[in-house]
Amino acid sequence: ILLFIVTRTIWIMDKVKPWRTNHSTSLPYELFTLDISTRLRSDPNSIKLSSSDFGNMVKNIPCAVLFPTHVTDIIDLVKFSYNSSRPFTIAARGNGHSVRGQAMADEGVVVDMRSLERFGGGNGIRVSWDSGLGFYADVGGEELWIDVLKATVEHGLAPVSWTDYLYLSVGGTLSNGGVSGQTFLHGPQISNVHELDVVTGKGEFLTCSRHLNPELFYAVLGGLGQFGIITRARIVLDKAPKRVKWIRMLYQDFSSFTRDQEHLISNNVLDYVEGSLIMHQSSSNNWRSSFFSNTDQSEIASLLSKHGILYCLEVVKYYDDANINTVEQELQLLLKHLKFNPGFVFKKDASFIDFLNRVRAGELKLQSLGQWDVPHPWLNLFIPKSRIMDFHAGVFINIIQAQNKSTGPILVYPTSRKKWDDRMSAVTPEEDTFYCVGLLHSGGVDDWEALDAQNKEILEFCEKSEIVLKQYLPHYNTRKEWMNHFGEKWSSFQDHKYKYDPKMILAPGQRIFH
Ligand code: FAD
């Protein structure tokens, strides 16, 4: 017996050794006696990949990374931590496209969700139909939306609500909301989910929906990963169109631009409505500029030099064989009443997939120029409609245009609160219509802090001006700020944490409870 104990201890110590060199004794050694220990890695590459994100501004070093080959690996890891006398933190990393370390676990364990897809041990993407729900897809939380799109269009179907960029994981966007130009019509991605499988912070594996474990279902959607790791989501599908008519129109006047946007989201004729600012500073390094030809760009440049700032309304109408003969007419009728600059309307006809995957071409271009993996001090805000003119004057004109240091797209488009479910954890402004504003800055290694300082100035301006905004993809440093962010939802948010993750194990990178 003594010999067995000695050899077993030597064996365990041998396994633990590589950790000790990185992060010494932070993880309990018993972890290495579990079957999952062979999927836990602490080599420099694994650690490096999991200690940074798209934002490139935060670095948090985990002790180890779990590369699960099956959902049970995740259950075993969380259960172990929960039952341990020294629980450690665990962060699910979808595709690591957060910007402020939200998917990191300093001195904890990062779960590389994509590994489930690589090893085929996740839920994959399965399309089904039933009389109650219609068509839907059961999708692993680790899947990317681009793959969900490709798999579902093969059946002539597709999800209805999207993000602008599709190389994001299903679990990652459902933890936040998932917004884009379709949100006004279908709600955010979290409004288009029937059911979830979740591993809670106690290591329980639970299925939840509006009828089964509803409290967990609503808590997890928009819950910033605080209550459980999503391993499967049942997503609403609808018939996929074949092609789209894609139009951009330029305005020199912000109030006409927003009036037209609000009109367009109220009549439900279009399938997508967004908008962006065009300034001198944002014309380069902008994934969205590929829409315009060289001739268009020089015309736009001369209009821009006259006005200093332009507003680009972007709309899309889906079509297929059924409405191929009427779609143009319908759009003409709609455009006739809009107040864009005459002559500054640009049209494209694209496949549904090319339209949805529109950001990819820009990404590849920036990657080839070495401008993709740079710091991204982003600020995403929801602004109530009643204050968007004040926001325009105080932020777009007096801060961003005046300081002339912004690079990257600036998005601004309205959406409707009616399409959000208030029982979910996600928070929005109180008004029926609010604007999604994305300041998607790209910084250099040396100058991103100046852009971040500008973000702080913007938030201070809004606070002083009593613009009651909500941050989307929020980032705060204090408990008081989080309480303010969740407002009336804070006490239930906190109760859900005590119920589903009482040892505060999950998603430490959000810095809400840790
Ligand atoms: P990660 O960064 O890996 O994780 C984000 C958070 O979710 C972390 O807290 C993590 O722990 C948690 N998490 C990850 N997986 C799971 C899971 N399976 N279960 C539970 N929690 C989990 N957002 C929009 O809404 N609309 C857009 O149009 C949009 N465009 C974007 C474009 C680009 C280029 C980028 C970089 C981001 C964009 N985003 C957009 C933001 C994006 O939705 C969020 O950053 C999202 O979290 C990224 O998904 P991810 O898989 O990379 O998540």
Is there a domain that residue 492 lies in?
no
What is the residue-averaged pLDDT of the chain?
Answer: 93
What's the rounded mean pLDDT across residues 2-29? Answer: 60
In a shared domain, residues 345 and 459: no
289 and 344 together in one domain = yes
The pLDDT of 284-313, averaged and rounded, is 83
Q: 493 φ, ψ to 5°? A: -60, -45
Shared-domain flag, residues 249 and 272: yes
Ligand 1 centre from 232 Cα, in Å? Answer: 16
Is the CB of residue 178 less than 8 Å from the CB of residue 163? yes
Q: How many domains does the chain have?
A: 4
Residue 185 placed within a domain:
yes
Residue 333 maps to a domain: yes
Show Cβ contacts of residue 146 under 8 Å, excluding neighbours closer than 6 positions: 166, 167, 357, 360
Is residue 390 part of the annotated active site? The answer reads no
- Cβ–Cβ < 8 Å for 111, 236: no
Residue at a domain's end among 86, 116, 146: 116
Give the tokens for residue 392: 């325009």
Q: Is 489 part of any domain?
A: no
Whats the size of the chain, residue-wise? 514
How many angstroms from the chain centroid is the CA of residue 55? 13
Domain boundary among 116, 142, 165: 116
> pTM score, two decimals?
0.94
Could you tell me the CATH number of the domain that includes residue 285?
A: 3.40.462.10
Ligand 1 atom with minimal separation from the 53 CA: 2
Of residues 76, 274, 314, 501, which has the active-site annotation? 274
| Shortest-distance Cα residue to atom 31 of ligand 1 | 165
- Residue 482 in any domain: the answer is no
> Would you say residue 288 lies in a domain?
yes
Q: How far apart are CA 341 and CA 332, in angstroms?
A: 15
Q: Report pLDDT digits (tens) over 88-133.
A: 999 999 999 999 999 999 999 999 999 999 999 999 999 999 999 9
Q: Are residues 154 and 194 in the same domain?
A: yes
Both tokens of 479, joined, read 């408990």
> How confident is the model at residue 407, as a pLDDT?
81
Residues 272 and 168 in one domain: no
Per-residue confidence (pLDDT) for residue 287, from 0 to 100: 60
78 and 100 both lie in a single domain: yes
19 CA distance to ligand 1 middle (Å): 29
CATH of the domain at 175: 3.30.465.10
Question: Phi and psi for 467 in degrees, rounded to 5?
Answer: -85, 110
Task: State the ipTM, two decimals.
Answer: 0.99
Name every residue whose Cβ is closer than 8 Å to that of residue 193 and which is 6 or more positions away in sequence: 174, 221, 233, 234, 235, 236
Domain holding 36: CATH number? 3.30.43.10
Q: Which of 53, 73, 76, 97 is catalytic?
A: 97
Rounded to the nearest angstrom, the distance between the alpha carbon of 33 and the centre of ligand 1 is 33
Residue 12 has pLDDT above 80, yes or no: no
Q: Are residues 82 and 32 in the same domain?
A: yes
Q: How far apart are CA 505 and CA 228, in angstroms?
A: 10
Residue 142 CA, closest ligand 1 atom number: 18
> Residue 434 belongs to what domain range?
374-474
